């Protein structure tokens, strides 16, 4: 399978600060997604980004597939950004094709 490692495991910020979350993956992928898990447990899609850069409001993401990492940027953080951020990847061959492999997440806490 694919190993997905996220860092940092925990991040505490004050409102208005910027942050960068990192995701390393161990194999070539055809799907890389970032999710935000809200306090009720739902996984909210943030980005589908197997390569390149995307932006959505205060959030942006970059995946460098050749170097097997992805970054999620959060600018001007708000208390509503708090929660767990997951990176998940799906491989592009063989037994890694079917499922998404998840990292352990980054717990983000934003204080007012």
User: Which residues of this protein are in contact with other proteins, per CB under 8 A?
Assistant: 4, 30-31, 33, 35, 40-43, 45, 48, 50, 86, 88, 90, 97-105
Which residue lies nearer to other proteins by CB, 51 or 76?
51
Q: How far is the CB of 103 from other proteins (least distance, A)?
A: 6
Please list, in sequence order, all residues whose beta carbon lies within 8 angstroms of the beta carbon of residue 85, skipping any fewer than 6 positions away: 6, 21, 34, 35, 36, 37, 46, 72, 105, 106, 108
Which residue lies nearer to other proteins by CB, 47 or 81?
47
Which residue lies nearer to other proteins by CB, 41 or 112?
41
Ramachandran quadrant class, 81 (left: phi over 0; alpha: psi -120 to 50; beta: rest): alpha
């Amino acid at each position: 399978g694919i190993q997905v490692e996220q860092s940092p495991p925990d991040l505490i910020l004050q409102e208005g600060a910027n942050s960068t979350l990192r995701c390393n993956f161990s194999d070539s992928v055809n799907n890389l997604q970032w999710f935000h898990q809200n306090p009720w447990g739902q996984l909210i899609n943030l980005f589908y980004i197997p390569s390149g850069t995307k932006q959505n409001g205060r959030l942006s993401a970059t995946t460098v597939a050749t170097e097997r990492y992805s970054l999620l940027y959060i600018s001007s953080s708000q208390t509503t950004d708090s929660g767990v951020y997951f990176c998940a990847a799906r491989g592009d061959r063989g037994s890694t094709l079917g499922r998404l492999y998840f990292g352990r997440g980054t717990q983000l806490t934003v204080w007012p």
